[in-house]
Amino acid sequence: MCDLDHTHDHGPSHLLANGPDLNRRQILQILGAAGIGAASTGLAADPAHAAATTRAPAAAPADSYEPRTGLAKDSPAKDTALAWIDRNDKAILALNDEIWDHAELSLREWKSSVAEAEFLRKNGFTIEWGAAGFPTAFVATASHGSGRPVIGFSGEYDALPGLSQKRGVGVHDPLDYIHDPWAPSYGPGHGCGHCALGSAAAGAAIAVSEGLRKNRLDGTVKFYGSTAEEQLIGKAYAVQQGVYDGLDAMIDWHPGMSNSTSWGTNSALTAVTFTFLGVSGHGGTPLGNKSALDGVIMLATMTEFLREENIAPSGRLHYVINNGGDAPNVTPEIAEISYYVREGSPARVKALFDKVVACAEGAAKASQTVMRYRITAACWNRLPSRSAAELLHENMVKIGSPTFTDADQKLAKQIQSSLGIPEKGQATGIEALRAPNPVFLGGGSTDVSDISWQVPTVSLGTAVSPIGCKSHNWAVAASAGAPMGHSALLMASRYLAATALDLVTQPERLAELKAEFAERTKGVTWKSSLPEGFEPPMYEPPQSFLKQTGQSWPPSNITWPPERVVSREKFSSLGPELAPQT
C-alpha cells in the first residue's frame, strides 16, 4: 500500500565505501542487520538497490553530510504561483473536502477522479481520460511556449476500506458504520490522506501553469490522475504502457506526520492473491468435503515459519484473508488470501515471493484443494534524487512550515491520547535534511517508484496528521478533513510549485537532476516487475461515468468479462467401504 516514508533507510554497501574506517566486527554487524551473510553481500551486489543507495555524486558520508544551500531562488514566476495558491486556497480545500466525502475505493473513484479533473480543466488544462486503460486515470496538460521542460505532478484520490472516521473527531468514531449481526464493519475512509494529496498537487500544477503563462516562460505542466495507488496498481502499469514518457522531472508528495523530504529509497513489492478451490458440504457431515479455508490457513501458517530464516530485516510479508467462507455450517468451497511481499529490490522480492508460492503449493497438496494465484501489482524500490531533495528542502525552509492553531494542537493531542502514543501534538518546523540511514531496514512501498526509474523524481511530506500516528489509520482520515490537515496540504502545494518553477527558471538545476539520474541508472535497465501479459484488475464503470468522461467499455488491454473462477473439484475418497463387524 501507499506507505511513503520520507526517512527511508539505505543499504550498507556505501557506508562501507564512504563511511569512517570500520573494523571487522562493525562490518559484520552492519551486514547482519541487513540480513546479509558473511559469504555474500546480498543487497550490495544488487544493481537496483545499489543505484538507489549510492551517495554519489559528491555526497559526504552520513556522519558529516550537510545539504547544499543557495539552490532555491526567488523569481517573478514563483511569486505568481504562490500568490495564486493564496488566492485560491478555499477552492483547493473544497476539492480536498469533496474527495474526502466521496471516500471511494481503488479502481472505483468515479466521483473523485471527475472532481479532480474538472478542477484542472476549469483552470486551463486539457484532459485525456483512460490513461493506460484505467477508467478513473487521466492526464491533464497545460503547455506554454516551446513546451519544454515538462514537469509532472502525481495526483491520487483513492480511499482505504474500513477506515471511515468523522472529520476532526479525536476518538475513533466511524462516519460510516455498517451493521451486520455477524460481521459489523466500517465504511471506507481517507486513512492515507489521498484527498489531500490529489488536491494539493492539483493546486500546485495550476499555480505553476499560471507562473509560466503570466511570465511568458516556456514549459509544460502535466498532472497524472492516478487510480488505485492503495493497491499499487495504477502507476507501475501505466509506466509500462508509456504514459509517463517525455517528462523531465516528477515532483511528488504524500501526507505525513512531519514536514520533510529525503533522498532515501524504499521497498520493492509484489502483491499476489492465492485462490484455493475445494468442495462444499454440510459442516455437520464433513467427511469427504474439501475445505478451501484449510488451504488458506495452512498457507498462512507456513509463511509464518519463513520469518526466522528467510525474511531479512529489510523484508516484509503481510497478508489478509479476503474470503474465508460465509457460514460455519457450509464448508468453504472457495477461499482467498492476499499477500504483499516487500524487499529492498525486485530481485530480493522475487526470492521471497518464490518461497511463498512454494508454501502455497504445499498447502494445496495437504488440504487436497486446487490452488491458483495471480499477481495483482508489482513495483520497484524508489530511485532517489539527492539534488532534487536539496532543492526541495531549501524551498520548504524558505517558505516556512504549516501554522497550527491551539485548536489544531488540542485535536492532535486528543488523537494521540486515543491511540496511546505521546501527546506531542502537530509537528512544527521543517525537519533537517539528513543523509539516509546506512543500513536499509525495509518499510513501505509506492508505485511512484517505477516513475523514479524513468525520470528524476522527488517526494516530500507535510504534517497532515499528529506526530507518532501511522498511515492507514482512522487518525489520518480524521486529520485530512480537519483544519490542521488543510494547513498542511496548502503548504505542500506551495513547496511543490516553488520547486517546479526553480527547475524551469534555473536550467542548471534541472541539468543537475538529470546528471545524477544518469549516474545512478548507469548499468541498470528498468524492466517492469509485472508478469508478461499482465492484465490489470478493473471494475466496470457506471454508464453515467462513461458518458461524463467520454469513454467506452471495455478498454482494449483487458479481457471482459473476466474469467469465472468456479470449483469443479470432487469429494475426497475415504477408501473402500468398511465391512460390518460380525
Helix (H, G, I), strand (E, B) or coil at 321: strand
pLDDT at 277 over 60: yes
The owner of cell 541508472 is 521
- C-alpha distances (whole Å) from 71 to each of 294, 387, 502, 505, 510 are 59, 9, 8, 12, 11
The strand pair at 150-156 and 219-226 is best described as: parallel
**DSSP state letters, 92-114:** HHHHHHHHHHH-PBTT--HHHHH
Query: Alpha-carbon torsion 94, 111, 123, 393, what sign?
Result: positive
> What residues contact 225, with CB distance under 8 A and at least 6 apart?
113, 116, 117, 131, 136, 137, 138, 139, 140, 155, 157, 198
pLDDT at 386 over 90: yes
pLDDT of residue 8: 32
The owner of cell 504561483 is 81
Residues 398 and 387: their CA atoms lie apart, in Å, by 17
| The domain made up of 76-266+382-520 is a member of CATH 3.90.550.10 | no
* Range list of H helices, 400-506: 406-419, 448-452, 474-480, 483-505
Beta-carbon neighbour count of residue 521 at 10 Å?
Answer: 18
> What residues contact 408, with CB distance under 8 A and at least 6 apart?
426, 482, 483, 484, 487
Binned at pLDDT 50, 70 and 90, residue 319 comes out as: very high
Residues 295 and 333: their CA atoms lie apart, in Å, by 11
Residues 257 and 7: their CA atoms lie apart, in Å, by 11
Considering the domain 268-379, what is its CATH architecture?
A: 2-Layer Sandwich (3.30)
For the stretch 349-385, pLDDT in tens is: 999 999 999 999 999 999 999 999 999 999 999 999 9
In degrees and rounded to multiples of 5, residue 143 shows phi and psi of -120, 145
The owner of cell 526553480 is 502
pLDDT at 121 over 70: yes
Specify whether the CB–CB gap between 218 and 148 falls below 8 A. Answer: yes
pLDDT at 502 over 70: yes
- Percent with pLDDT over 90 in the chain: 88
pLDDT at 282 over 70: yes
What does the mean pLDDT of the chain come to? 92
pLDDT at 417 over 70: yes
pLDDT of residue 572: 94
Helix (H, G, I), strand (E, B) or coil at 215: coil
pLDDT of residue 58: 53
For the stretch 220-247, pLDDT in tens is: 999 999 999 999 999 999 999 999 999 9
The owner of cell 547544499 is 68
pLDDT at 56 over 80: no
Binned at pLDDT 50, 70 and 90, residue 44 comes out as: low
pLDDT of residue 42: 47
Closest Cα partner for 541 from 529, 551, 531, 528?
Answer: 551
Binned at pLDDT 50, 70 and 90, residue 455 comes out as: very high
Cα 252 to chain center, whole Å?
11
Binned at pLDDT 50, 70 and 90, residue 438 comes out as: confident
Q: Return the bridge partners of 290, or none.
A: 279
Q: Name the more confident of 31 and 266.
A: 266
* Amino acid in the structure at residue 2: C
Specify whether the CB–CB gap between 129 and 553 falls below 8 A. Answer: no
pLDDT at 186 over 60: yes
- Percent with pLDDT over 70 in the chain: 91
The owner of cell 484532459 is 127
* Amino acid in the structure at residue 128: E
Cα 270 to chain center, whole Å?
12
pLDDT at 265 over 90: yes
- C-alpha distances (whole Å) from 547 to each of 103, 128, 141 are 22, 14, 21
Specify whether the CB–CB gap between 237 and 132 falls below 8 A. Answer: yes
Helix (H, G, I), strand (E, B) or coil at 26: helix
Specify whether the CB–CB gap between 372 and 275 falls below 8 A. Answer: yes
Residues 289 and 304: their CA atoms lie apart, in Å, by 26
Q: Name the more confident of 54 and 43.
A: 54
In eight-state DSSP terms, residue 185 is E
For the stretch 195-205, pLDDT in tens is: 999 999 999 99
pLDDT of residue 60: 53
pLDDT of residue 13: 33
For the stretch 327-357, pLDDT in tens is: 999 999 999 999 999 999 999 999 999 999 9
Q: Name the more confident of 501 and 41.
A: 501
Enter the C-alpha cell of residue 262.
529525503
Q: Where are the domains of the chain?
A: 76-266+382-520, 268-379
Q: If phi over 0 gives left and psi between -120 and 50 gives alpha, with beta otherwise, what is residue 436?
A: beta
pLDDT of residue 354: 98
pLDDT at 5 over 70: no
pLDDT of residue 437: 86
Binned at pLDDT 50, 70 and 90, residue 50 comes out as: confident
Buried residues in 169-207 as b, exposed as e (16+ CB within 10 A): bbebebbeeeeeeeeeebbbbbbbbbbbbbbbbbbbbbb
Closest Cα partner for 386 from 497, 289, 520?
Answer: 520
| Helix 386-399 / helix 483-505 crossing angle, nearest 10 deg | 120
pLDDT at 515 over 70: yes
Q: Return the bridge partners of 140, or none.
A: 127, 223
> What residues contact 372, with CB distance under 8 A and at least 6 apart?
274, 275, 277, 565
pLDDT of residue 55: 63
